[in-house]
Amino acid sequence: WSQRASPLPFAGPRRVNPPGIAFSNLPPIDLVLVSHNHYDHLDLATLKRLKTKHDPVVLTPLGNDTIIDAGVPGMRLSVRDWGERVEIGNDVAVHVEPVHHWSARGTRDRRMALWAGFVVETPGGK
């Protein structure tokens, strides 16, 4: 829900369209999947808002937890490696799948965190 995908609030790519739903209209959020650490996918300001309002668990691959823990102290994290399966409950599980791409939020942290794809397994299918 941030206006920019950037470490700086006044620079970087600006949102073109508003979010599809207003933050205040979100249903209860129990789980957030964070695939990697680029600013357009790991938005600390949004995670802070989600923690305050919903206190969800954030499922993320190895290395991204360092960024989230520093930026959103107390965020409930489930940190996983590629190939792991996480039971969510009610016959729902999330598979953490490998994605081969570089990660970075700055100039000195390239390849310090994993990217992941997620497969959500439910009784109705994947």
- Domain at 23-121, CATH homologous superfamily: Ribonuclease Z/Hydroxyacylglutathione hydrolase-like (3.60.15.10)
Taking alpha carbons only, the member of 51, 40, 47 closest to residue 7 is: 40
**Bridge-based pairing state of the strands 31-33 and 115-121:** unpaired
pTM for the model stands at: 0.89
Residue 61 CB burial class (10 angstroms; 0-12, 13-18, ≥19) = buried
Query: So where are the chain's domains?
Result: 23-121
pLDDT of amino acid 110: 56
pLDDT of amino acid 104: 63
Task: Print pLDDT tens along the chain (126 aa).
Answer: 888 777 777 877 888 999 999 999 999 999 999 999 888 889 999 999 999 999 999 999 999 999 999 999 999 999 999 999 999 999 999 999 999 876 766 666 655 688 999 999 999 999
Contacts of 4 (CB under 8 A, 6+ apart): 10, 11, 12, 13, 14, 15
